[in-house]
Structure 1
Amino acid sequence: MGAVTFDSPPETVFTRLTHHADMAFALGRGDTVTAMHAPDYYSGLWNQFVERLPGVSLDWTGLYSSWEPSKEKLYELDSDIHLADPAWIAKQDNWGREDFAEIATNVSPWFGNSLSDRHAEPPSGWTDYEYYTLWEQFELVAEAFQEQARYEALAAIHDEMRSTIDANLPPESERPSTVMLAAADIDEIYAYTLDNPGFLTAHTRPFGARDAFEGSVETNSVVDFETLLAADPDVILHLGGFEPSTSLPERREAFKSDPVGSEITAVQNDRIYPQGARYQGPILHLFQLEMTAKQLYPDQFGEWPTYTEGPYPEIPSEEQLFDRQRVADIVNGEI
Structure 2
Amino acid sequence: MVDDSIGRGIPTRREFIQGGSGLVAGGMLAGCTSTGGSQESGDGTDGSYTVSMAPMGETEFDAVPESIFTRLTHLAGMAFALGRGNDVNAMHAPDYYDQLWNQYTPHLDGVSLDWSGLYSSWDPDKEKLYDLNSDVHLADPASVFALQSWNMEDIEEIGSDVGPWFGNQFSDSHGTPPEEWVDDYEYYGLWEMFERVAAVFQEEARYEALAGIHDDLLNTLESVLPPESERPTAVLIGASDLDSIYAYPLDDPGFLTAHVSPLEPVSAFSDEVGSTTQIGMEALLEANPDVIFALGGMHPQTSIGAIRSGLADDAAGSQLPAVQNDRVYAQGARYQGPILNLFQLEMTAKQLYPDAFGEWPTYTEGPYPEIPEEEQLFDRDRVAAVIRGEFDQ
TM-score norm. by structure 2 comes to: 0.84
The DSSP-based 3-state class of the residue aligned with 2:63 is coil
Tell me which moved more, 14-23 or 98-107: 98-107
Counterparts of residues 71-220 of structure 1 (less than 5 Å): 71-126=126-181, 127-220=183-276
Query: How far did residue 129 of structure 1 move?
Result: 0.6
1:70 Cα shift?
1.1
Hey, what's the Cα distance between the residues in 2 that align with 1:275 and 1:212? 17
CA-to-aligned-CA distance 1:145-192 (integer Å, 9 cap, x gap): 000000000000000000111111001111110000102311100000
Tell me what 1:25 maps to: 80
Specify the SS of the correspondent of 2:160.
Answer: helix
> Does the alignment pair 1:47 with 2:102?
yes
Instruction: Give the distance between the partners of 1:7 and 1:82, measured in 2 at CA.
Output: 14
Alignment partners' CA distance in 1, 2:381 and 2:263: 25
SS at match of 2:340: helix
Instruction: Give the aligned residue type for 2:113.
Output: L
What's the offset of the Cα at 1:212? Answer: 0.4
Give structure 2 stretches of 5+ with no counterpart.
Answer: 1-55
Q: For residue 60 of structure 1, what is the aligned residue in structure 2?
A: 115
Asked whether the 8 Å contact 2:173–2:275 carries over to 1, the reply is no
Q: Which has the larger radius of gyration?
A: 2
Aligned partner of 1:16 in structure 2 is 71
**What does residue range 239-278 of structure 1 map to in structure 2 within 5 Å?**
239-278=295-334
Write the distance in 2 (CA, Å) between the matches of 1:321 and 1:240: 22
Which stretch shifts more, 54-63 or 94-103?
94-103
Alignment of 1:246-325 (within 5 A): 246-325=302-381
**CA–CA separation in structure 2 for the residues paired with 1:331 and 1:169:** 29
Query: Can you give the 5+ residue segments of structure 1 that lack an aligned partner in the other structure?
Result: none
Partner letter of residue 60 of structure 1? W
Q: Distance in 2 between matches of 1:312 and 1:84?
A: 28
Q: Distance in 2 between matches of 1:94 and 1:258?
A: 43
Question: 1:204 is aligned with what amino acid?
Answer: V
**Number of aligned residue pairs:** 335
> Deviating runs (4+, > 4 A) in structure 1?
none
User: Larger RCO: Structure 1 or Structure 2 (Cα < 8 Å, ≥ 6 residues apart)?
Assistant: 1
CA positional deviation for 1:15: 0.2
How far apart in 2 are the matches of 1:24 and 1:79?
14
Q: Does 2:62 match 1:7?
A: yes
Counterpart among 289, 299, 324 of residue 233 in structure 1: 289
